[in-house]
Structure 1
C-alpha cells in the first residue's frame, strides 16, 4: 500500500530510519496530536471519535511507561507523571473533560520540549566529535 501512497512511504521510512531519541519524540508528538483530536471531538460532541483519540493517546503513554529505562534515577519520577497523565486521560474520557485533556497535554508538552532539547544537545556533541576526527 505504501507504494501507492507517497505519504505512507515517507512515514514508514521516517520511522525506520529514526534514532531511538527521535522515535520517542514522535511518540510525544503523536500523544499530543491525539489529545488535540479528542478536544475537538468533545467540542463537536463526537463521543466515538473522542474515545478513539483518547485511547490512542493512552496507548502511547503506556508505551512510554513500558520502555522507560528504570536504571536512570529520574525514571521513577517520570513513571509517576506518565501514570498521572494516563489517569487524566481516563477521567477526560469518562467526564468529557477538555480541562483534564489540557492538563495531560501540558505535561506531555513539557516532556516533549525537554526531549527535543536533549536531542539537540546530543546532535551538537555528535557533530563536534565528527569535526574533531
Structure 2
C-alpha cells in the first residue's frame, strides 16, 4: 500500500522529532481527542465520543507507563495526575458525562501548556549554557 503524502509527512515528523517534541505532539493529540469527545457528546454522537475518549485514555496510559517518577522532583505528583486523569476519562466515557469530559479538557490543556513550556525551556537551556 502506498502511503499518502500526509501519512508520510506524519511518519517523518515523528521519526525525526526530539523526545521533548514527541511529548508535546502526544499531549497536543490528547487535547484534540478530549475536545473531539466533548464536541461529540454535545451533539449526542456517543459512539464518536466513546472512540475519542478511548484514544485519550490510551495516550494517558502511554504517558504514565513511560514516566519515571523517581528521576525528578514532582514525579510522583505527575504520576498521580496521570492516574487521576485516566480515571476521570473512564468515568466521563462510562457516564457519557459532558461536564466531566469538559473537566478533563481543562486538565489536559493545562498539562499540554506545561509540557510546551518545559520543552521550550529545555531547548533554550543548551543555548544559554553555551553563551
> In structure 2, the residue corresponding to 1:45 is in which secondary structure?
coil
Q: Which residue number in structure 1 is paired with residue 20 of structure 2?
A: 21
Per mean C-alpha deviation after superposition, the further-off stretch among 111-120 and 59-68 is 111-120
Q: TM-score, normalised by structure 1?
A: 0.89
Q: Which residue number in structure 2 is paired with residue 46 of structure 1?
A: 45
The size of the alignment, in residue pairs, is: 130
Q: Which residue number in structure 2 is paired with residue 121 of structure 1?
A: 121
Q: Distance in 1 between matches of 2:84 and 2:27?
A: 15
Q: Distance in 2 between matches of 1:93 and 1:4?
A: 33
Pairwise CA RMSD of aligned residues? Answer: 1.5
Q: TM-score, normalised by structure 2?
A: 0.90
Structure 2 unpaired stretches of 5+: none
Structure 1 unpaired stretches of 5+: none
Q: Distance in 2 between matches of 1:123 and 1:59?
A: 27
Q: Which residue number in structure 1 is paired with residue 110 of structure 2?
A: 110
Shift of 1:129: 4.7
Q: Deviations over 1:71-92 (max 9, x none)?
A: 2231110111111111111111
> In structure 1, the residue corresponding to 2:69 is in which secondary structure?
coil
Structure of greater relative contact order (alpha carbons < 8 Å, 6+ residues apart): 2
Q: Which residue number in structure 1 is paired with residue 30 of structure 2?
A: 31
Q: Distance in 1 between matches of 2:42 and 2:111?
A: 26
